[in-house]
Every structure is written in C-alpha cells, then in structure tokens.
A and B are shown apart, each in its own frame.
Chain A
C-alpha cells in the first residue's frame, strides 16, 4: 500500500476504470475449442467406436467378399502356359492346394519366408520348385491330400510320375539357387507364388493339426439404448372372467398415449464360458449385469393420493395407496425423472460360427437369461395413468430375458476381439401379474468383447 502512495493513485484508478470498460468479443472458434477440450471423452469415444467398427467392417468385407486376395500364400495355382512345351505344364491345367499353409496364423515365420521369396521378384519354375522335394515325400504328400487338391476335370489328374524331378532334386533349393534361375519365358511355363509351406513335413503337420480347445471364455460390454413397452389392462378379459367385478372406469386405450417416456443409454456387462460341441456350434453360459433406464417426463403437482392397485380375481384391491408428487398435470415446468433398473442375469444359450476363417469370423448367438431385479425403487404409473409413484411391491423380482446377438470376431494373437449388435427383450412384465399394467423392457446396443481359448 505504501508503494502505491509513491505514485499518483488517481492515475492508476483511472487507468483501471478505463481498461475495465473495454470489452472484446471472441470468435466462435474459441468456444468450439473450449467445448471440445472439455468434452473430449465423449468425442474420443465416438471417434474410437467409429474407427473400430469401420475397421472391422472393412476387414470383414475384404475377408468375406475377396477371400482369395488375402490367401495368396495358402494357394498354389498353376496355369497352363500355351507357349510352353513342358510336359508338366501341359498336363496340369489347374492345381489348387488350399490346404497348404492352412494355418497361416501359426506360421508367422513361414509367412516371412514366403514374403521373402515373393519379393525377390523371380518367377519360379515348377520343376525347380518341386525339385526341392524328395520324390518319395511328394508322393506321400499327394496321397495324403486327395481331397484337398482340386483338379480341373478337363485335364488329366496330375500323377507323381508326371512331375519330372531333376537330378538336383536331392539338394534343397536355396535363395542363391533361385537367383541363378534365368527369368526366361521358356523356363517359366508356370508362374506361381511358391511358399515354404511346400515343405511336406510342415504341410502334413498343419493338415493334421486339430484344435482341441473346446472351452473359451468371453468378456463383453455393451452400451445400450433402453426402451420399454407398456400394455394397459385388458378390461374385456377381466370382465368375462369376473362377472361380479364392480364396474370401474378402466382405461382401455393404449397406455403409451398417456405417458411421455424417452429412451436412455444404459449398459450391459458380463462374461461367458463357451463350450464347443461341434466345429461351428458352441454352448455358452455366464453372468450378466445390466443397467437399464429411461426418462419419464412428468409435471410436478400438489401431493395427491395416487393408487397403484394390485388386482385380483375378486376385483380391485386398493392395497397400495401412496402419495405422489409427480402427477401428470398441465404444469408448465416438466421434470425428467429416470426409471433405473439393475438386473443380474444368467445367460444360457447357443452360438454359431456362420462364416469366416481362422482370422475373422461371423457369429450369431441366442440366449435365455433368468434375471433378478436388484432394485425396486423405480416409478410406477398409477391405475388412472395420471401419476407416477413408487411401489416396491409392484415389481417382479425374477424375470426372463431373451437375448440375441450377431457379431464379428477378429483374432489378434491369442485374443479374439468381438463387435456386433445385440438385442435383449424382457419376456415377462416388470410388474407382477396382479398389477394392471405390463411393462416389457427392450434394450439394444453394440456389444464389444474379447474371448480366448482355455488351454
């Protein structure tokens, strides 16, 4: 303070006043940047999901629509070169051995070797290629693969004797040998990619390899949208069965017209153990926790008595009269309330691998899920559809959910990543049978999961 007395306080005061009067209006860009910085999590989630789903769909498309494109190393195709006079080429129009290198994922070293040869740019003569095999091994291999080698019907089936093995056959072919081969047209009757999977030991090993991993575990999470269907009391049915029921005013109109509910995001998280009963079918069972909710739009009103009555065949029994402060009135300020449901369920079902290969697969699954409602503090609609109130007695604790999902799985190492839509429908009403309204929950979302074989 003392130092301020040294100067003319009036000058500083005036300077401050003038400076504070000054205002500037920032450009929209500033707020946009501030907003995006503050809400990056949501943006990253959306971008991440878009990227993930897009990537998997692209992979799925490329694998399912153009499977041959990515399986060059798995296929040996020899085409007849009309200019060549080679005995082998004339007798062999099309030789396809899909089974070679059938398990590409387990042979990363072989893949590298394959690439090395392919990248060398040298055309490869079948004579030379086959010369790397010992004759006896070749015969063994061909005999062991009668179904795997598809031979065009228009040509004579290839016989081991047709394959002229040179004198150099006893020595394995090396990269240096390949480099010495002249890339001439005459010496190249058959243009084909050759992989080290031609080594017979490996081919046979791969063909006889059987996956014994029958069990696998699976974890998943699914952001879901939750909605529900309300069904009102069927007055005619009750009137027929209970002739002496007192006549009451019953709304037989669609109850959904009386309420204003909005779906909300929830989630579903759980895990399964799957047991493979055949090549493509698995049984599964697990545990699932779901959080479902939806908005209720209502108007605050003065506390009134709202009856959420439980009906019986003896007529209406008003055993639940509770105060409500959320009546559906014409109040100008609507309030949003959330109805939340927490459920534990035990999904049991079946899953089928319907398409794909070792890397990418398309699955469909269906489950039945006995479920238990953990909370009963949600709002229920009163009999006359005029108020919301809370009545724990109205809720059914045990229920049954039907679930179905379709998902793509993609193997990355030993883990399979899964993504796809899922739908769950609650078969029985949220409320007890004696409650005049029925509510059936439906949620749908994108399920993301991982699974791994149990060895």
Chain B
C-alpha cells in the first residue's frame, strides 16, 4: 500500500489503512518514546496517545513535508506533554551554568550498537534526557525547547551541556567511547 493510499484510507477512517500506518511507523516511534519515557510501559502509553492524535489530526497534514517527520513531531510533543502531566520533567529540572563545563570532542565508534546508546541516554536524569533528546536527536533549537518545556532558553542550554557531559561520562564508563585522561580523572572523582 502506498503512502498516499494509506493517507487517503486514514482520512476515511478505514481501519486497514490505520493499521498499515501503525505497523509502518510504530517501531520507530516507540523507540522515540522510549528515549523520553521512564520505562517501556510509559513509552507504550505515549505511543498510544500519540498515534490517536496522529489519526485524529490526519486532515491537518499537508503533503509538503515528510509524513514521518510530521508523525514524529506529534509523538515528541505527546511525550513532552506526558512528562509534564506526570510532573516527572519539572521535578528533575535544575539549572547549571553552561559556561563552567568543559566540552570534549568525542566520536562514537560505529561498532557501538544503537541500543547501547539509547540505554545510556535513558540513564540520564529526566530533565537532561529530555533536553538532550530534543536538541541532539530531534533537532529542536534551544528556543523551541524552552517554549516546549516552559523553561528559560539559557536553562535549556545549560541542561543540554550538562546532559552531554554526563552522557560522555557514561559512554566512557561503559567503554563505548575511548576515555581521555582528564575525563577518566573526573569519573573517578565522581564515582
């Protein structure tokens, strides 16, 4: 079934087309949810809520952009709303001055599995994780993130900087990226 046929079928509320669309995109979208969520159950709740929105708002989709991107934006916004609703995001937000953090330049080796990276991201506190997901993976700007999360733009930056630093440390600790000397020293100090 072509994407156009799926779209038309979904617009007519045909269950077969809806199922086809769901089968096609739900694995990717669940992975997105999983990066934001506390656990798999929460991720499935987010996915369910997101797909209902997708189907209900199908008529607002304009064929100019990519369909997957449109779905993904809805899913991400659903995840954010879910976190806000459960107050899991606000409780974990703390403000860290970005200027005080040293940024290293690390590369992720290609042999590292996607699941390993996602697992490392999910170890981050929810505030860091959310900003990191939105900025580094979903491609939102800090301004957009600040509006989505109802925080200051500077807060978003600082959250991201700290999140990235913490992620690097986790990756190093798990031997997924090579450890530099200064980083190893800091990790030792932390743990």
* Cβ–Cβ < 8 Å partners of A16 in chain B: 136-137, 139
A11 touches B106 (CB 8 A): yes
Residue from B35, B56, B118, B136 in contact with A12 in the complex, judged by beta carbons closer than 8 Å: B136
* Cβ–Cβ < 8 Å partners of B28 in chain A: 20, 23
| Cβ of A39 under 8 Å from chain B | yes
| Cβ of B115 under 8 Å from chain A | yes
Complex CA gap A37/B113 in Å reads 36
B17 to A: closest C-beta gap in Å: 11
B125-157 with Cβ < 8 A to chain A: 135-137, 139, 141-142, 157
Complex CA gap A25/B43 in Å reads 11
Complex CA gap A10/B27 in Å reads 26
B47 touches A19 (CB 8 A): no
Residue from B34, B35, B48, B115 in contact with A30 in the complex, judged by beta carbons closer than 8 Å: B48
| Cβ of A247 under 8 Å from chain B | no
Complex CA gap A15/B35 in Å reads 12
B22-80 with Cβ < 8 A to chain A: 22, 26-28, 30-31, 34-35, 40, 43-44, 47-48, 51-52, 55-56
A41-72 with Cβ < 8 A to chain B: none
Complex CA gap A37/B13 in Å reads 12
A7 to B: closest C-beta gap in Å: 6
Residue from A8, A19, A26, A31 in contact with B114 in the complex, judged by beta carbons closer than 8 Å: A19
A-B interface contact total, Cβ < 8 Å: 100
Residue from A6, A8, A35 in contact with B15 in the complex, judged by beta carbons closer than 8 Å: A35
A15 touches B106 (CB 8 A): no
Q: Nearest CB to that of B157 among chain A residues?
A: A3
Complex CA gap A29/B30 in Å reads 13
* Cβ–Cβ < 8 Å partners of B142 in chain A: 3
| Cβ of B174 under 8 Å from chain A | no
Please tell me the number of chain B residues within 8 Å of chain A, measured between CB atoms: 41
Residue from B30, B115, B136 in contact with A25 in the complex, judged by beta carbons closer than 8 Å: B30
Residue from B30, B31, B44, B107 in contact with A14 in the complex, judged by beta carbons closer than 8 Å: B107
| Cβ of B164 under 8 Å from chain A | yes
B52 touches A24 (CB 8 A): no
Residue from B13, B47, B113, B117 in contact with A38 in the complex, judged by beta carbons closer than 8 Å: B13
| Cβ of B95 under 8 Å from chain A | no
A10 touches B141 (CB 8 A): no
Complex CA gap A39/B13 in Å reads 9
A7 touches B103 (CB 8 A): yes
Please tell me the number of chain A residues within 8 Å of chain B, measured between CB atoms: 29
Complex CA gap A20/B69 in Å reads 12
A15 touches B108 (CB 8 A): yes
A26 touches B47 (CB 8 A): yes
| Cβ of B83 under 8 Å from chain A | no
B118 to A: closest C-beta gap in Å: 5
| Cβ of A27 under 8 Å from chain B | yes
Residue from A18, A23, A24, A26 in contact with B112 in the complex, judged by beta carbons closer than 8 Å: A18
Complex CA gap A31/B52 in Å reads 10
Complex CA gap A20/B118 in Å reads 9
Q: Mark A137-154, 1 if CB is under 8 A from B, else 0.
A: 000000000000000000
A8 touches B44 (CB 8 A): no
Q: Mark B83-113, 1 if CB is under 8 A from A, else 0.
A: 0000000000000000000010111100011
B123 to A: closest C-beta gap in Å: 14
Complex CA gap A6/B136 in Å reads 13
A30 touches B26 (CB 8 A): yes
* Cβ–Cβ < 8 Å partners of B40 in chain A: 24
| Cβ of A314 under 8 Å from chain B | no
Q: Nearest CB to that of A24 among chain B residues?
A: B30
| Cβ of B12 under 8 Å from chain A | no
> Are A24 and B18 also in contact (CB < 8 A) when A8-B106, A18-B117 are?
no
B44 touches A31 (CB 8 A): no
Q: Nearest CB to that of A22 among chain B residues?
A: B114
User: Which residues in B have some Cβ–Cβ distance to A below 8 Å?
Assistant: 13, 15, 18-19, 22, 26-28, 30-31, 34-35, 40, 43-44, 47-48, 51-52, 55-56, 103, 105-108, 112-115, 117-118, 121, 135-137, 139, 141-142, 157, 164
Q: What are 17 of the A-B contact pairs (CB < 8 Å)?
A: A8-B105, A8-B106, A11-B105, A14-B107, A16-B139, A18-B112, A19-B114, A19-B117, A20-B137, A22-B34, A23-B31, A24-B43, A30-B47, A31-B19, A34-B22, A35-B18, A38-B56
